[in-house]
Amino acid sequence: MQKYFSNQKNGILLFNVQKENKQKIELFYDTKNFEVYCFCQVLLHDNMNNKIESDFLLVGGFNVERREGRIKLFKILYNAIGNINNIEYLNDIEIGFEGAVNSIIQSEKYGNILSSCYDGYIFVYQN
């Protein structure tokens, strides 16, 4: 979520929808001067090449203060009954894109991660 007006905030909006009681829980994580453009949940591969969703998110966007694109690593935090109750910032991926990171995807077959940014470059991160 990107702010467009001074009274808004940059951040990540998370939804937890519980089918059994039709309850919707909204959580907002303020990313301050980081404009979020995309995200990708990281998939892991076991020895049998099965895909397993991890508790990690890659979030791409633009750091307004540094004037450069960034990818940030977050961990998804769950409550006792398995619903998302927050996310935790872990680290920046130190690459320093010239433009905003606008797309992150992960190959289901090989696990490689691809990101693109507004400066026209595409980056591949191999396992």
- Nearest Cα neighbor of 96 from 127, 65, 63 is 63
* Number of neighbouring beta carbons within 10 Å of residue 36: 20
Decide if pLDDT at 54 tops 80: yes
Q: What is the pLDDT of residues 55-108, one digit of tens each?
A: 999 999 999 999 999 999 999 998 887 778 889 999 998 777 888 999 999 988
Q: What is the pLDDT of residues 5-47, one digit of tens each?
A: 677 888 888 876 666 666 666 788 899 999 999 999 998 877 7
CB 35 within 8 A of CB 9: no
